[in-house]
Chains A and B, each alone.
Chain A
Amino acid sequence: DAGVIQSPRHEVTEMGQEVTLRCKPISGHNSLFWYRQTMMRGLELLIYFNNNVPIDDSGMPEDRFSAKMPNASFSTLKIQPSEPRDSAVYFCASSIGADYGYTFGSGTRLTVV
């Protein structure tokens, strides 16, 4: 299994631009999570999907952030418009069920200048 696949690995964009991060979970995993990691705040859960349905998006910072999961093998996290304070590493993780450990992707390092 290739694990959780995220793209791009690095993204540098100008403030105000739209950014789309992509994630392919492990086949057969029915839960998907988007996390943001910064030095100041550590790992923060942004949104959680179960069977492609958003269960909890209370961690999404504001309306500029949106996430979709159109099918079991693909999810996107979009930031529009992006701001410098959005700079962070964004991780996608999946699990076989809500009660199991997560498998993380390698992350997308986002820099907004």
Chain B
Amino acid sequence: GQQLNQSPQSMFIQEGEDVSMNCTSSSIFNTWLWYKQEPGEGPVLLIALYKAGELTSNGRLTAQFGITRKDSFLNISASIPSDVGIYFCAGRTTDSWGKLQFGAGTQVVVTP
């Protein structure tokens, strides 16, 4: 079963607001990834993190690899309607042989 706890489950926000979501793990991870999935499509990789403490941005998106290596967060600044979708965290442990574990996802709805 999933070892990742992703929260919140859903968010309803107004255009222009900032969004924050996070994932916690019961295991130590050596990789954290954040994906976005839109209806009818597969998840698309947004940000990859490989070092504890690493802070990486991709446009209005910023993600950090927690220093405990058991958590990560994703922030979206100044949300726009096209930010709508489901955001997934994913991570792998050192002994996972490359397998990623996925969180349950955070559904983001942006209203004008």
Contact = CB atoms under 8 A, between A and B. Distances in A.
B43 interface: yes
Contact of A106 (B41, B48, B88): B41
Residue among B44, B88, B98 facing the most chain A CB atoms (10 A cut-off): B98
Contacts of A105: 42
Report the contact-size class of chain B (Cβ under 8 Å from the partner).
20 to 34
B51 to A, nearest CB: 13
A14 interface: no
A45 interface: yes
A15 B106 CA distance: 33
B98 A48 contact: yes
A56 interface: yes
A106 B42 contact: yes
B105 to A, nearest CB: 7
Interface in A54-113: 55-56, 91, 93, 95, 97-107
Contacts of A98: 97-98
Given A104-B43, A105-B42, A31 B98 contact: yes
Residue among B35, B43, B105 facing the most chain A CB atoms (10 A cut-off): B43
Contact of B41 (A31, A56, A100, A107): A107
Contacts of A43: 43, 88, 102
Interface of B: 2, 31, 33, 35, 40-45, 48, 88, 92, 97-100, 102-105
Interface of A: 4, 31, 33, 42-43, 45, 48, 50, 55-56, 91, 93, 95, 97-107
The 3 A-B residue pairs whose C-beta atoms are closest, nearest first, are A98-B98, A104-B42, A43-B102
